[in-house]
Amino acid sequence: MRKTFFRGAFCAAALIAVAAQHAAAQDLTAGENSFKKCLPCHAVGEDAKNKVGPVLNGLEGRHSGSVPGYAYSDANKNSGITWTEAEFLDYIKDPRAKIKGTKMIFPGIKNETEAKNLWAYLVQFDASGKKK
């Protein structure tokens, strides 16, 4: 009886772990799909280059307005923002409301789940563009 209980508990724990990994993969896939909205202006990955907007590699923990070679607005350079999930979620809802005077004309992502998925996708890229 004990063996059956422990086997059942082990199987349940394994299924939960697999489900959590699957959910995370779905989040990254959804985030990658959301990033298509950003692609006209931004890039990520090892070969990413600044476009209309800056490269988004190494976003987590980076100070706003600090990507070398990108001509930021004074508003962005002086915003005092260090990118965290909370800052990003607040910003991406309405970039022009969060940083008055930003050059970013994107209307925003209002759906919180979509914004969280986008964040999860972006933060997998380190500063060099390699996936962590």
pLDDT tens string 86-103: 999 999 999 999 999 999
d(CA 106, CA 34): 13
d(CA 71, CA 52): 9
Q: What is the pLDDT of residue 5?
A: 46
CB-based contacts of 102-110 (< 8 A; 24+ apart in sequence): 102/73, 102/75, 102/76, 103/72, 103/73, 103/76, 104/41, 104/53, 106/37, 106/38, 106/41, 109/34, 109/37
Q: What is the pLDDT of residue 7?
A: 54
Q: For the whole model, what pTM was predicted?
A: 0.80
Residue 43 placed within a domain: yes
Task: Return the CATH number at 67.
Answer: 1.10.760.10
- Structural domain count of the chain: 1
Report whether 49 contacts 39 (CB < 8 A): no
From residue 23, alpha-carbon distances to 10, 30, 54, 64 in Å are 20, 10, 29, 30
Reported as type and span, the H/E element at residue 2 is helix 2-35
Residue 71 placed within a domain: yes
d(CA 102, CA 100): 6
User: Comparing C-alpha atoms, which of 54, 56, 37, 52 is closest to residue 122?
Assistant: 56
pLDDT tens string 34-68: 999 999 999 999 999 999 999 999 999 999 999 99
Domain that holds residue 108: 2-122
Residue 131 placed within a domain: no
Residue 14 placed within a domain: yes
Residue 127 placed within a domain: no
Residue 96 placed within a domain: yes
pLDDT of 6 higher than 50: no
